[in-house]
Amino acid sequence: MKLNKNFFSENIKTFFYALVIAVIIRSLLVQPFYIPSSSMEPTLLVGDRLFVTKFTYGYSKHSFPFSPPILNKRIMFSSPERGDVIVFKTPADNRTDYIKRLIGLPGDKIQFIDSNLFINSSEILKSKILIKDKIYCGNKTIDVFKFEEKLPNGKKFHTVYLKNYTYQNSDIFTVPKNHYFFLGDNRDCSKDSRYLTSVGYVHEDNLVGKAQFIFFSSDKRIASIFAFWKWHKSIRLNRTFNKIN
């Protein structure tokens, strides 16, 4: 078969156009993410794959692959709401993606007293759901209490705390202007804004996008995604297309 002399050039063009379209979609619309840790259990499990909308809070350099210095501030900014589950670049290196729940807005004062969360001196309502439950913390299973928490704006979600409440008291965290304070839902197994040297307060420019829904989930502890003969055990069909609360 004789190939058209333009065969290779046309395929290169097609590949280039497809790549450009993919970058535009990833940068301006939605981006898939994989959950590698248990810091957001029970909301997000290791092995969840989810879509994050990039347009929800506007755009910064971190909206684009490799964070090129093409924007010196956030544009088309829309303020996030307390309780949103958000992907952001960690302030420590402006490179690593973290996903946590937004708890503190600019100017808020956050504190833990006797393992209870306070925002601006008001205790956050916490209703116990389960006295005994087990979840993961890294490769270990831990015994936890499960709660439903309700933020001042009415947002409700589930959190878990170790039974011995390892994180009991803290200093007051005063959230700076244009910054946000994040916590993991797995409160005693999360590196988040409480740890100022590693995460700390997150600038609005570091927001990547809002987590919207899970499109696929599999438990890698049971089997690799390539072990198709174990898919019936590892794939979590009940989590597919679940909206993230």
Tens-digit pLDDT profile for residues 18-46: 888 888 888 889 999 999 999 999 999 99
In a domain, 170, yes or no: yes
User: 214 and 48 in contact (C-beta within 8 Å)?
Assistant: yes
Q: Which of 39, 60, 63, 193 is catalytic?
A: 39
- Rounded mean pLDDT, 88-101: 96
CATH code: domain of residue 168: 2.10.109.10
In a domain, 110, yes or no: yes
pLDDT at position 79 is 97
In a domain, 96, yes or no: yes
Residue 161 and residue 192: Cα distance in Å, rounded? Answer: 15
pTM of the model: 0.91
Confidence category of residue 129, pLDDT binned at 50, 70, 90: very high
Number of domains in the chain: 1
Across the beta sheet with 109-113, the strand order is: 122-123, 116-119, 109-113, 173-174
Q: At residue 6, does pLDDT exceed 80?
A: no
Strands 140-150 and 156-162: antiparallel
Nearest one of 222, 213, 39 to 135, comparing CA atoms: 39
In a domain, 159, yes or no: yes
At residue 171, φ and ψ (nearest 5 deg) are -70, 175
Domain containing 171 equals: 7-239
In a domain, 166, yes or no: yes
Q: Which of 54, 61, 89, 100 is catalytic?
A: 100
CA 6, 12, 18, 24 dihedral sign is negative
Three-point CA angle 201, 42, 107, nearest 5°: 25
Is 100 designated active site? yes
In a domain, 244, yes or no: no
Is 39 designated active site? yes
In a domain, 1, yes or no: no
Q: At residue 3, does pLDDT exceed 80?
A: no
Q: Which residues are registered as beta bridge partners of 75?
A: 59
